[in-house]
Chains A and B, each alone.
Chain A
Amino acid sequence: MHFKGMLQMKKNFLFTSVTCIIITAFVLAGCKNTGKNNDKGSQPPVPKVDSNNATLLKINNQIFSIPSPIQTALLIKKSGYAYNRQILNSADNYAKYDTKYKRALNLGIYGADLGYISLYDQTQDALLYLASIEKLATDIGLSDMFNPTLVKRFQQNMGKQDSLLSMVSEAFTRSDAYFKDNKQPDISSLVLVGGWVESLYFAVQASTNTQANQKDIIRRIAEQKISLQNLVKMLQPYNNRPEYAQLIKDLSGLSDIFDNVEFVYNYVPPTVDVKNKVTSINSTSEVKMESAILKSISDKIVAIRNQIAG
């Protein structure tokens, strides 16, 4: 009897141990996958990246930054390009976006539009686009970020360009955080894609304008090569969904054209101002892009943007 009891205890212990190990493995896997989608099994393999002191480098620990559309809009304005309402996605189009996928992409597009409008102090257009953003945002669960209070604050700060840009950026940063907190990094990625596509669309429109400093704008277009590669990598985990797959295919096609852009980088040691906590990055870079490639990029981005905006 005593022997049987011991055997039973051992069995229980073994069972408990195995169960705990399995559950713990799942918990740790869940921890590691925080912020990523649940369809990881269908992801294409992502190459590991070599880096100093890195012991565990995989897709979960690679985070891709997409430059703010406001940065390109700032450059366009600085280049002397006059405000052009025609290049914006119509504020009335919001009603056409009937899926979360379309709403997220076009929220990004409208966000870039609002940033552009704010730079040029176009009060009426700003309120019009803010209203469309509010509607789209509410439809995808962002009513806390884009609400009447934001609209009121926006109205009160009309004419204060820096304040308006900060408000737009903060609202989109909070949206990004919301999607990440709520396990919707796919939606977060779509908003970023929309904003990036629209800012490149602005740039190609401005690049043909003879009044603007085309050289800087064309350079900025060429500099999108790596950002585009990052965008495609960011979307890859969702490649098993048809609408994402089409978007990835379109962006990959654009990336293929960008492969013809030559980026020449020369490292120059940085200098540091410790007192003011500023490091000057002194490295230089040049881009080489033939006009035929610029034309191909322009045609492709117009097609992608119009496909998204509808």
Chain B
Amino acid sequence: MKNRITLLAIFCGLMVSCISASAQCDSIANACAKRNMDPSFISDGQQYRALLVNADETAEFHVTFYGGTIYRLAACSGMTDGNLIFTIYDSQKNVLFSSGQYQNAPYWDFSVKSTVDCIIDAQLNPTTNAGSGCAVILIGFKQL
């Protein structure tokens, strides 16, 4: 009987964490925009989201940055800053930026001279995220 209750509890826990993580994505994105997006940047019209089940999992965001543009990237998971670590690679896998080198900065600006195709890898911060979480990336732009 005890085993049944334990298994049921585990199942319910998984259900609740899955549903709540999904529901939280929207509020995380809104809070992220308020905290980290400056009004001078125009949103690119999309909310990039991925549900990560642990800190070892990586979400990939494929992005083109146009030359002559300044971009702001905001990266959030949870309602406080620093929970999502993001790294930007170019098409040759050179690292262009890693927020991990800058105290897990929740946002950063990129002045792009010439158009580049990039991949942004995002991972939950293992020191602040024990379990799953919704990874949100927001992109804003303005002309150089």
Question: Which residues from chain A sit less than 8 Å from chain B, CB to CB?
Answer: 12-13, 16-17, 20, 23-24, 27-28, 30-32, 34-35, 49, 51-57, 60-68, 70-71, 74-75, 78, 111, 162, 165-166, 169-170, 172-173, 176-177, 180-181, 192, 195, 220, 223, 226-227, 230, 263, 265, 267, 270, 272, 274, 276-285
Contact = CB atoms under 8 A, between A and B. Distances in A.
Nearest to A17: B7
A76 to B, nearest CB: 12
A276 B110 CA distance: 11
A238 B43 CA distance: 27
Contacts of B26: 177, 181
Contacts of B107: 277
A28 B94 CA distance: 34
B45 A169 contact: yes
Contacts of B44: 65, 67-68, 71, 169, 173
A71 B58 contact: no
B114 interface: yes
A56 to B, nearest CB: 5
A39 B93 CA distance: 32
23 contacts: A20-B10, A20-B11, A23-B11, A27-B14, A30-B18, A35-B51, A51-B60, A51-B121, A52-B87, A52-B121, A54-B121, A57-B60, A63-B49, A63-B62, A65-B44, A71-B141, A166-B43, A169-B45, A173-B43, A267-B94, A279-B111, A280-B111, A284-B114
Given A56-B58, A278-B111, A65 B139 contact: yes
B114 A283 contact: yes
A66 B15 CA distance: 32
Given A52-B121, A281-B96, A31 B62 contact: no
A281 B48 contact: no
B97 A270 contact: yes
Interface residues of B, number: 73
Contact of B117 (A20, A226, A272): A226
A53 B89 CA distance: 13
B2 to A, nearest CB: 10
A282 to B, nearest CB: 6
B14 A24 contact: yes
A53 B121 contact: yes
B58 A51 contact: yes
B4 A13 contact: yes
B50 interface: yes
Given A65-B48, A173-B45, A220-B66, A265 B91 contact: yes
B115 A285 contact: yes
Nearest to B61: A63
A265 B90 CA distance: 9
B124 interface: no
Given A53-B123, A166-B43, A31 B66 contact: no
